[in-house]
Structure 1
Amino acid sequence: MIRHKLADMRTKCHAAGLVLYHDAWLADRHVRCGVETSMAKLYVAEAAKSVVLDAQEILGAYGYVKGFDVERYVHDVLAMPIIGGSSMIQRNNIANWSGWSR
């Protein structure tokens, strides 16, 4: 069970990196990438939250102990979907810029 959770966590981290590298590649070529950056912000924030909470679950009580890295990561990652535009705002941006009606 833990091996599968770790495999999923690694996959999410890898996918998040690929999304970010793709956006950086577009921006480096001065291509408009507003939709892509909103998708990256949304995916990376949600993936990071999932990975950190899974790590906390794996570590059990140690995931809550002050001074352990995971406890700090949980504290930091819970703000990620809010800072720089909430996940809901990113979803609105993606829908609006994709031309989908309300």
Structure 2
Amino acid sequence: MIISQVMQLITGIFEGLLGIPLFGGAYIMGSGYTPLFVMLILHIITLFLASRDGRWIAGSVLGIVTSILGFIPFVGMVLHWITCIVLIISVFQPKRY
């Protein structure tokens, strides 16, 4: 695996953890929404790496949107789920070119 795939897998797992009902929301709110900011930075880094390596970037772009809108109850939870799935699928996709 190349580093962009590892980052996609890591951010996908983190998104899945943040999407766990009650736990994810309590963790995010209890931490002063800092996990959303950290995930935003990780998604930007992953986007850069995936783009550089010719990997799929949809998961990272969706992750950036999720990090921005993740503070909205229920909407954030569903966005975390969707982002998790897209990122994990992206790991196993072939290069774009």
Q: Flag the structure with more relative contact order, 1 or 2, with Cα contacts below 8 A and sequence separation at least 6.
A: 2
Rg larger in structure: 1
TM-score computed with the length of structure 1 as normaliser:
0.41
TM-score computed with the length of structure 2 as normaliser:
0.43
